[in-house]
């Protein structure tokens, strides 16, 4: 129990990620697939941000930064690096989503549907 | 500290040019081509400088922002990626010249966008190759991926839906990679490859590290279309516009293979990677299936481009299998094959592009009478085909040579058999086409009046001829390439 | 297919679970991630860049190159969407004559008014977020997104034409390019000043009365402005194209 | 053995590659075009001939171009055996060029430029094999020859040519990629070199199983030697124009096959090893079977060229047998037979072609009494037959004599019996042709008693080769010296 609680963030990220992953693989609707992708990426972000957490620490903005040089205690602030990385990852996922939606919108214009099986039917008919 | 700027320039020149191509394109659509061309020529020049420097003086480290790694991002150029960089810029240069007319015909109203995306893709591939930071690699992976999606989706027929599938799988692959990097980060606290390499041996047996390794490798496999995750590639590449496929098909899979090699040996170590014999065997068998399956599928195709895409899948098997043979010769072969396969795939796709440009078609039957109509194109085609089959002195023979030597050394007869089998199938594939080109005429075969030669324009033909000549020259200089470059890139086992 | 999917998902999940067993506990101050790199950033940030917000200094300077590339990602996405969707030929525009005349947004007076009132404040706040990123949570991305959102809000509240009047297609494109150009341009200036790429300390040579440390701080600010522009413009670009299907007419 | 470095071997090979350019340029002027072919022929012969005195002194001429893989170079080495073969091929190229003029123009064939180009290329391949210093170089030129002869074999570009071309490539290319290539790689892996050495490069310590497998991979892999069951391509290739059949499928291509076997037997495996493992005897049986079966099948053929083809299959195995006997006299005989059979068989093919040009007949049943119309041709045919049968005073007698001595020396009386019985069979399928041509009643005769020969360009070459066949009986020097010298080298005597 102790063990489970100590890492509960990580258990949850896996759970969320697998929900997204399943949607990506198994959903028939292209938009739902993209929702899956978004969930998947959100889970990764959760994972990274969890890495950055530190007990008893605050956000990584140095207090009294512009006062005279004084000792800074690194344990007082959480790890900034994962946050930086995730800013990037968020942007990437938004970009991917944008391009994917553009594709879906073109697919819809061409086939009149965004259900994968119906599109495949049309393709095999030709 | 004024030091060599070539490593960063070769990436940033195409990047800046992408922006200028987009800006210039708004003024006049014809401006973007010269901008892109000049940028890629400069980048090619820089990559050669880097290669020579590495060969003469050894590894180059470049600290971006002047920060010490692992705190800042670092570029590391060693023998392995110096070679890949030259390959990328060379292929990019060849196909940008080649595709000028095709772009003007295929995408007349999207010329500036095309060149912007083209340059971004080149930047992405170069950056992936040169970076020494695991997370930076992910960002670049996404740049190249986004550019690829857009370029592929401009194609005809099924291009949209197959690009969408590629997008989903590509995103899964990249996300798994990112997740894997996260696992490494949580276990080590570092993102710099060299730093990871230093720390990881002390963490042997850590399950987070193991999972990280598996995630990264699987992610990269999906990206490179390695069996069994190869399904997306043939369709995505078949329907792509021929202007961009000459850049994408030769490079994307090769760069992914490069990432795999980089991760296996420069982040993890050879001892870690090859610790488990069962895994090794499984991967080699997968590549055997990829090679045999890819070849057989190629045999079943009637569309020239689709046939080539299945060959790309088979060639991925060559490289992955070669690396996982876990001996120096096999790995040398795989690295050599990155170079050789990029060029031969390029050569064949250039031929496909010319065929489409001239006839608007790309079935195998459309090669009818081509030997008479386009002798130069077909000459280059034959050289490319021989290289695929593995006939000396073309370069394809030599990478096969090393790969088979590696297979013998490792006692993996199944891999050797697969390679020989694929050579034979390739021989059938290409001679079938040569036969069509040689025998089937629209007119009577005993017609004395020579049919008019109608070649493609010189701007398309010259790049093709250059590539064809390169195939032979590189073949002949294999030993120099191996001793000067590749030998230093292979980890000591 | 669904069954295979399920199996793959469960297998992956189990693999990940196994990986977690060797993770350090959540929020453990002694975890490698918290002890390897981050103390350096936390303790040296002020000394080396004069930026108290460590996230900003890492984002803009230590890992500035990542940030530049992610700006490029947004740009790439913008261009990709634009390339895929934007219709320029007249023929395409004439297609699809059936447009459902949805009058609702035009009549929603309350919505319109609130949107109109909100927009300037949002933009002001966005500028604050960008400019104050050195000292408080915020920075180019966040500011850029808020800026972009203000335009999108207008587009939803009114219609696309209203936004396009204020921010033309060309302006959007130019701003998007300009943003990434500012970033990479600053990087190149550093190279021209014979330092490494993105080494802002080189800027002290051309900025009046700045030492190396402050040059870094200013460099970060310049870069953040570039990021903000690029993110705003490209988000708007993506939105406009997606919502009007590349016709730049009506929107949602 | 002392060795000299000289660029001559390379020049000899390049002559016929370079001449392709002027041939192509002068395609509009047939006389100039053929002039170039002649010129190249004489230059080549002069280069090859100029090396004779040196080699007869026991010197070896070497030239290394470039090291392509560690320990394996593109390297030429002229020794007695290679020079003997090169001398034969380049002499006969000139003769055949003359004959081609008569034949191709006589029949108004199409695509003559292509024909002469590939002919020249094929010759380069042949000389390259003759001068190869290692297995890699040999393989390279072997493949060049395979590919260069494909357009020649399928010259007519009709359905029959297509089917034959397919068979041709399947056997020739398939066996060389599927069998020779892996065998070569395995040997490289074991020994680290591919250089031919007089005592072989494989050590006696190898397991018998592996050595036998490798050995037969080579024997069957060099399918150009047409050892059964890898022979069907040869009769199929007879669809080619007769000059092609005569030079390539009596001299260049098939002799390259047996020459390669000779090289591998002596230079790779080494006579002592083969003796120890009794592989020579095994090969003897394979060869013996091919000799008898080839001769028996030849008896039943009505098409003259097919009969000649099966006769060739049998005769080639004489040479293989010569190698397999592993005795001094036997090898001398085998090498001499390369020469003797070449002149004899080419005469016969020339005659077949001349008959076809003059009368349009291909089948023996249509040639009764043809001696009345074409006495010169049929006399030459008779002499050629005698030489192939091995009847004095023709050159064929000498080689057969040495082969018979070889069987005695090797203590293989059964082989001697087979040789003798095959001689009877040879007589049985050749002599009736000549007999019926001259001695038949007026009712039987299908031709008028009026001399109407083929054009002079056709007849002169065959008269020449027939004369040489006889002449070689009286003046076998310097060929006999070369053969003896070569054998001395292998057996260390």
Cβ neighbours for D180, distance < 8 A, ≥ 6 positions apart: D139, D142, D217, D218, D221, D222
Count, residues in chain B:
493
Whether B67 contacts chain A with CB within 8 A: no
Total domains in chain B come to: 1
Instruction: Give the nearest partner residue to C18 out of B1, B153, B211, using CB atoms.
Output: B211
Instruction: Give the nearest partner residue to B189 out of C36, C89, C201, using CB atoms.
Output: C36
On the question of pLDDT at B2 being above 60, the answer is: no
What CA–CA distances, in Å, run from D60 to B354, D6, D489? 49, 10, 11
CB contact under 8 A, B149 and A103: yes
CB contact under 8 A, C177 and B23: yes
On the question of pLDDT at B440 being above 90, the answer is: no
pLDDT digit string (tens) for D154-177? 888 888 888 888 888 889 999 999
The angle subtended at Cα D128 by Cα D125 and Cα D134, nearest 5°, is: 130
CA–CA gap between residue C105 and residue C115 (Å, rounded): 12
Nearest CA-CA distance, residue C103 and chain B, Å: 33
CB contact under 8 A, B477 and D66: yes
**pLDDT-based confidence at residue B384 (cuts at 50, 70, 90):** very high
CA–CA gap between residue D330 and residue D402 (Å, rounded): 6
Whether C193 contacts chain B with CB within 8 A: no
Contact partners for chain C, using 3 or more CB pairs closer than 8 A, are A, B
Q: Is C251 among the domain residues?
A: no
Q: What is the pLDDT of residue B449?
A: 47
**pLDDT-based confidence at residue B85 (cuts at 50, 70, 90):** very high
Average pLDDT, chain C: 85
On the question of pLDDT at C21 being above 70, the answer is: yes
- State what percent of residues in chain D have pLDDT above 70: 99
On the question of pLDDT at D436 being above 90, the answer is: no
On the question of pLDDT at D24 being above 90, the answer is: no
Which residues span the domain enclosing C62? 48-90+104-244
B45: burial class by Cβ within 10 Å (0-12, 13-18, 19+)?
middle
Residue of D69, D75, D108, D188 to mutate when probing chain B, most B C-beta within 10 A? D69
Give the count of beta carbons closer than 10 Å to the beta carbon of residue D141. Answer: 27
Total domains in chain A come to: 1
Q: What is the pLDDT of residue D305?
A: 86
Q: Which of residues 95-154 of C touch A (CB under 8 A)?
A: 135-137, 141
Q: In the predicted model, what is the mean pLDDT of residues B255-283?
A: 91
User: Which is more confidently placed, B445 or B479?
Assistant: B479
User: Which is more confidently placed, D458 or C104?
Assistant: D458
Q: What is the pLDDT of residue A126?
A: 64
pLDDT digit string (tens) for A77-120? 888 999 999 988 999 999 999 999 999 999 998 888 889 888 88
Range of lowest pLDDT (A64-73, D14-23, D381-390): A64-73
Whether B139 contacts chain A with CB within 8 A: yes
Q: What is the pLDDT of residue C33?
A: 85
Q: What is the pLDDT of residue C103?
A: 53
pLDDT digit string (tens) for B131-175? 999 999 999 999 999 999 999 998 887 889 999 999 999 999 999
On the question of pLDDT at B448 being above 50, the answer is: no
CB contact under 8 A, A100 and B146: no
B277: burial class by Cβ within 10 Å (0-12, 13-18, 19+)?
exposed
Whether A57 contacts chain B with CB within 8 A: no
Instruction: Give the nearest partner residue to B404 out of D139, D161, D182, using CB atoms.
Output: D182
Whether A72 contacts chain B with CB within 8 A: no
Instruction: Give the nearest partner residue to A48 out of B150, B163, B182, using CB atoms.
Output: B182
Is residue C237 within 8 Å of B116, Cβ to Cβ? no
Cβ neighbours for B275, distance < 8 A, ≥ 6 positions apart: none
Nearest CA-CA distance, residue A122 and chain C, Å: 19
**pLDDT-based confidence at residue C193 (cuts at 50, 70, 90):** confident
pLDDT digit string (tens) for C122-170? 999 999 999 888 888 888 899 999 999 999 998 888 878 888 888 888 8
Q: What is the pLDDT of residue B116?
A: 94
Q: Is A28 among the domain residues?
A: yes
Instruction: Give the nearest partner residue to A10 out of C23, C42, C71, using CB atoms.
Output: C23
On the question of pLDDT at C56 being above 50, the answer is: yes
pLDDT digit string (tens) for D173-222? 999 999 999 999 999 988 888 888 877 888 777 788 888 899 899 989 99
**pLDDT-based confidence at residue B35 (cuts at 50, 70, 90):** very high
Q: What is the pLDDT of residue B451?
A: 58
CA–CA gap between residue C59 and residue D21 (Å, rounded): 63
Q: Which of residues 2-31 of C touch A (CB under 8 A)?
A: 2, 4-6, 8-10, 12-13, 16-17, 20, 23, 25-29, 31
Q: What is the pLDDT of residue A67?
A: 58
Q: What is the pLDDT of residue B445?
A: 45
Q: Which residues of C touch B22 (CB under 8 A)?
A: 79, 173, 177
Q: Is A30 among the domain residues?
A: yes
CATH number at residue A121: 1.10.287.3510
Instruction: Give the nearest partner residue to B143 out of C38, C69, C184, using CB atoms.
Output: C69
- Which runs of consecutive H residues, i.e. helices, occur in B28-110? 32-57, 79-98, 100-106
CB contact under 8 A, B167 and A30: no
Cβ–Cβ pairs < 8 A, chains A and C: 168
Instruction: Give the nearest partner residue to B113 out of C34, C82, C185, using CB atoms.
Output: C82
CB contact under 8 A, B186 and C33: yes
CA–CA gap between residue D337 and residue D357 (Å, rounded): 29
Which residues span the domain enclosing B286? 274-493
CB contact under 8 A, B479 and D158: no
Which two tokens mark A36? 């899956």
Q: Is C12 among the domain residues?
A: no
- State what percent of residues in chain B have pLDDT above 90: 65
CB contact under 8 A, B190 and C36: yes
Q: What is the pLDDT of residue B221?
A: 94
**pLDDT-based confidence at residue B446 (cuts at 50, 70, 90):** very low
Nearest Cα to B464, choosing from B276, B242, B202, B286? B242
Q: In the predicted model, what is the mean pLDDT of residues D373-402?
A: 87
CA–CA gap between residue A32 and residue A20 (Å, rounded): 10
Nearest Cα to B126, choosing from B272, B264, B251? B251
Q: Is A63 among the domain residues?
A: no
Which residues span the domain enclosing A115? 2-57+74-125
Cβ neighbours for B483, distance < 8 A, ≥ 6 positions apart: D70
Average pLDDT, chain B: 90
**pLDDT-based confidence at residue C73 (cuts at 50, 70, 90):** very high
On the question of pLDDT at B1 being above 50, the answer is: no
Q: What is the pLDDT of residue D66?
A: 85
Asked whether D and A share 3 or more beta-carbon pairs under 8 angstroms, the answer is: no
Helix/strand/coil (H/E/C) assignment for every residue in B412-456: CHHHHHHHHHHHHHHHHHHHHHHHHHHHCCCCCCCCCCCCCCCCC
Range of lowest pLDDT (B315-319, B357-361, D341-345): B357-361
The angle subtended at Cα C157 by Cα C155 and Cα C161, nearest 5°, is: 40
Q: In the predicted model, what is the mean pLDDT of residues C232-242?
A: 92
Total domains in chain C come to: 1
On the question of pLDDT at B80 being above 80, the answer is: yes
On the question of pLDDT at D135 being above 60, the answer is: yes
- State what percent of residues in chain C have pLDDT above 70: 90
Nearest CA-CA distance, residue B186 and chain A, Å: 6
On the question of pLDDT at C92 being above 70, the answer is: no
Q: Is A64 among the domain residues?
A: no
């Amino acid at each position: 129990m102790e063990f489970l609680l100590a890492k509960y963030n990580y258990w949850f990220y896996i759970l969320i990620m697998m929900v997204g992953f399943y949607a990506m693989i198994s959903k028939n609707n292209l938009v739902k697939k993209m929702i899956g992708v978004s969930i998947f990426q959100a889970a990764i972000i959760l994972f990274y941000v969890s890495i950055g957490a530190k007990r008893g620490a605050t956000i990584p903005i140095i207090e009294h930064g512009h006062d005279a040089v004084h000792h800074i205690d690194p344990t007082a602030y959480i790890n900034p690096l994962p946050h930086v990385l995730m800013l990037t990852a968020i942007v990437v996922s938004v970009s991917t989503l944008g391009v994917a939606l553009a594709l879906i919108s073109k697919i819809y214009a061409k086939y009149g549907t965004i259900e994968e099986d119906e599109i495949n039917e049309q393709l095999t008919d030709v | 500290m004024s030091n060599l700027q070539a490593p960063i320039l070769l990436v940033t020149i195409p990047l800046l040019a992408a922006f200028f191509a987009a800006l210039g394109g708004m003024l006049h659509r014809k401006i973007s081509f010269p901008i892109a061309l000049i940028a890629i020529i400069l980048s090619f020049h820089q990559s050669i400088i880097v290669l020579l420097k590495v060969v003469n003086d050894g590894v180059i480290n470049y600290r971006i922002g002047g920060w010490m790694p692992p705190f800042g991002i670092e570029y590391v150029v060693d023998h392995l990626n110096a070679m890949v960089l030259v390959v990328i810029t060379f292929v990019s240069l060849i196909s940008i010249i080649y595709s000028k007319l095709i772009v003007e015909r295929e995408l007349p109203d999207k010329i500036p966008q095309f060149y912007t995306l083209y340059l971004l893709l080149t930047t992405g591939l170069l950056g992936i190759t040169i970076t020494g930071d695991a997370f930076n690699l992910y960002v670049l992976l996404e740049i190249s991926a986004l550019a690829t999606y857009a370029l592929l989706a401009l194609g005809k027929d099924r291009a949209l839906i197959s690009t969408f599938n590629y997008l989903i799988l590509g995103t899964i692959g990249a996300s798994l990679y990112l997740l894997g990097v996260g696992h490494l980060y949580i276990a080590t606290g570092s993102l710099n490859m060299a730093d990871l390499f230093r720390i990881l041996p002390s963490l042997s047996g850590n399950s987070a590290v193991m999972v990280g390794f598996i995630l990264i490798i699987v992610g990269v496999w999906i990206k490179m279309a390695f069996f069994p995750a190869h399904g997306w590639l043939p369709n995505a590449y078949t329907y792509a516009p021929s202007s961009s496929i000459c850049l994408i098909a030769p490079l994307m899979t090769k760069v992914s293979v490069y990432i795999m090699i980089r991760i296996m040996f420069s982040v993890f170590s050879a001892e870690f990677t090859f610790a488990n014999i069962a895994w090794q065997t499984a991967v080699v068998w997968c590549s055997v299936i990829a090679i045999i399956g890819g070849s057989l599928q190629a045999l079943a195709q009637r569309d020239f481009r689709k046939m080539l895409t299945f060959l790309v899948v088979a060639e991925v098997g060559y490289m992955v299998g070669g690396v996982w043979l876990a001996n120096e010769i096999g790995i040398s072969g795989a690295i050599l094959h990155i170079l050789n396969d990029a060029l031969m795939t390029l050569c064949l796709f250039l031929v496909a592009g010319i065929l489409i440009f001239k006839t608007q078609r790309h079935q195998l039957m459309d090669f009818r009478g081509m030997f008479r109509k386009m002798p130069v194109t077909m000459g280059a085609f034959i050289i490319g085909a021989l290289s695929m089959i593995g006939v000396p002195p073309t370069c394809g023979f030599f990478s096969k040579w090393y790969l088979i030597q590696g297979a013998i050394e490792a006692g993996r007869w199944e891999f050797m058999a697969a390679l020989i089998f694929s050579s034979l199938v390739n021989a059938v594939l290409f001679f079938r086409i040569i036969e069509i080109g040689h025998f089937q005429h629209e007119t009577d075969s005993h017609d004395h009046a020579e049919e008019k030669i109608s070649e493609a324009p010189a701007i398309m033909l010259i790049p093709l001829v250059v590539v064809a000549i390169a195939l032979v020259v590189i073949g002949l200089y294999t030993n120099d390439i191996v001793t000067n470059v590749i030998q230093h890139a292979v980890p000591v086992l | 297919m669904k069954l295979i999917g399920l199996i793959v998902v469960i297998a992956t999940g189990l693999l990940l679970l196994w990986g977690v067993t060797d993770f350090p506990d959540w929020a453990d101050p002694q975890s490698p991630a918290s002890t390897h790199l981050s103390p350096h950033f936390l303790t040296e940030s002020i000394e080396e860049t004069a930026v108290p917000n460590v996230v900003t200094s890492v984002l803009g300077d230590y890992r500035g190159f990542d940030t530049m590339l992610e700006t490029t990602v947004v740009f790439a996405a913008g261009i990709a969407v634009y390339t895929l969707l934007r219709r320029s030929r007249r023929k395409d525009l004439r297609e699809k004559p059936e447009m459902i005349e949805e009058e609702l947004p035009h009549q929603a007076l309350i919505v319109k008014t609130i949107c109109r009132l909100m927009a300037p404040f949002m933009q002001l706040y966005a500028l604050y977020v960008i400019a104050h990123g050195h000292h408080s949570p915020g920075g180019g991305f966040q500011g850029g997104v808020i800026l972009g959102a203000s335009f999108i809000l207008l587009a939803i509240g009114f219609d696309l034409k209203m936004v396009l009047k204020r921010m033309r297609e060309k302006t959007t494109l130019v701003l998007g390019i300009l943003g990434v150009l500012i970033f990479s341009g600053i990087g190149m200036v550093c190279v021209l000043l014979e330092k490494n790429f993105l080494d802002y300390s080189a800027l002290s040579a051309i900025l009046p009365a700045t030492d190396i440390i402050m040059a870094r701080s200013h460099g970060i600010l310049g870069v953040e402005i570039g990021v903000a522009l690029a993110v705003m413009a490209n988000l708007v670009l993506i939105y406009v194209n997606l919502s009007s299907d590349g016709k730049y007419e009506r929107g949602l | 053995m002392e060795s000299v470095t000289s660029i001559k071997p390379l020049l000899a090979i390049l002559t016929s590659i370079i001449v392709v350019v002027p041939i192509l340029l002068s395609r509009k002027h047939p006389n100039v075009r053929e002039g170039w072919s002649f010129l190249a022929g004489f230059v080549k012969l002069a280069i090859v001939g100029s090396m004779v005195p040196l080699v007869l002194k026991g010197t070896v001429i070497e030239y290394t171009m470039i090291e392509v893989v560690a320990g394996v170079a593109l390297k030429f080495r002229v020794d007695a055996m290679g020079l003997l073969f090169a001398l034969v091929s380049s002499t006969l190229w000139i003769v055949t060029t003359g004959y081609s003029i008569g034949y191709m123009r006589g029949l108004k064939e199409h695509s003559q430029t292509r024909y002469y180009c590939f002919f020249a290329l094929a010759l380069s391949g042949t000389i390259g094999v003759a001068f190869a210093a290692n297995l890699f170089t040999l393989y390279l030129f072997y493949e060049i020859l395979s590919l260069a002869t494909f357009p020649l074999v399928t010259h007519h570009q009709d359905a029959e040519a297509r089917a034959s071309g397919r068979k041709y490539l399947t056997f020739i290319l398939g066996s060389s990629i599927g069998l020779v290539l892996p065998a070569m790689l395995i040997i490289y892996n074991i020994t680290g070199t591919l250089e031919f050495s007089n005592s072989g490069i494989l050590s006696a310590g190898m397991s018998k199983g592996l050595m036998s497998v490798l050995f037969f991979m080579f024997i069957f892999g060099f399918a150009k030697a047409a050892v059964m069951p890898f022979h069907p391509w040869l009769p199929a290739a007879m669809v080619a124009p007769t000059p092609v059949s005569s030079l390539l499928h009596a001299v260049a291509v098939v002799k390259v096959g047996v020459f390669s076997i000779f090289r591998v037997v002596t230079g790779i495996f080494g006579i002592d090893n083969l003796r120890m493992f009794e592989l020579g005897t095994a090969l003897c049986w394979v060869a013996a079977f091919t000799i008898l079966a080839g001769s028996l099948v030849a008896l039943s053929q009505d098409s003259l060229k097919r009969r000649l083809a099966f006769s060739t299959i049998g005769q080639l195995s004489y040479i293989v047998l010569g190698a397999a006997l592993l005795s001094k006299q036997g090898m001398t005989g085998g090498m001499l037979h390369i020469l003797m059979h070449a002149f004899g068989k080419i005469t016969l093919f020339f005659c077949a072609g001349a008959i076809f040009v003059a009368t349009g007949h291909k089948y023996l049943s249509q040639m009764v009494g043809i001696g009345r119309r074409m006495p010169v041709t049929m006399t030459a045919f008779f002499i050629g037959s005698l030489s192939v049968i091995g009847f004095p005073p023709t050159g064929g007698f000498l080689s057969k004599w040495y082969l018979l001595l070889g069987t005695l020396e090797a203590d293989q009386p059964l082989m001697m019996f087979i040789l003798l019985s095959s001689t009877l069979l040879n007589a049985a399928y050749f002599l009736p042709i000549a007999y019926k041509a001259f001695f038949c009643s007026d009712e039987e005769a299908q031709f008028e008693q009026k001399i109407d020969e083929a054009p002079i360009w056709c007849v002169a070459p065959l008269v020449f080769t027939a004369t040489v066949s006889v002449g070689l009986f009286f003046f076998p020097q310097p060929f006999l010296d070369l053969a003896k010298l070569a054998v001395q080298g292998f057996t260390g005597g």
